Amino acid sequence: MPKVTFINPDESRVELDVPVGTSLMRAATAHGIEGIVGDCGGGLTCATCHVLVEETFLPDTPPITPNEEQMLDFTAMGRQPNSRLSCQLVMTEALDGLVVRIADPQL
Ligand code: FES
Domain locations along the chain: 3-102
For residue range 44-103, list pLDDT tens digits in order. Answer: 999 999 999 999 999 999 999 999 999 999 999 999 999 999 999 999 999 999 999 999
Tell me what pLDDT residue 14 has.
98
| Ligand 1: residue whose CA is nearest its atom 3 | 44
SS3 content of the chain, % helix, strand, coil (to 5): 25, 20, 55
Ligand 1 pocket, 72 CB below 6 A? no
Tell me what pLDDT residue 39 has.
97
Residue of 25, 50, 83 best suited for mutating to test ligand 1, as the one with most atoms within 8 Å of CB? 25
Tell me what pLDDT residue 46 has.
97
Which spans in the chain are helix H? 24-30, 66-72
Tell me what pLDDT residue 96 has.
97
Taking only Cα atoms into account, the Rg of the chain, rounded to an integer number of angstroms, comes to 12
To the question of domain 3-102 being in CATH 3.10.20.30, the answer is yes
Tell me what pLDDT residue 34 has.
94
Tell me what pLDDT residue 38 has.
97
- Bridge-partner residues for 51, per DSSP? 84, 102
Helix (H, G, I), strand (E, B) or coil at 65: coil
Q: Is 5 exposed, middle or buried, given 0-12, 13-18 or 19+ CB atoms closer than 10 A?
A: middle
For residue range 23-48, list pLDDT tens digits in order. Answer: 999 999 999 999 999 999 999 999 99
Tell me what pLDDT residue 48 has.
98
Ligand 1 centre from 104 Cα, in Å?
15
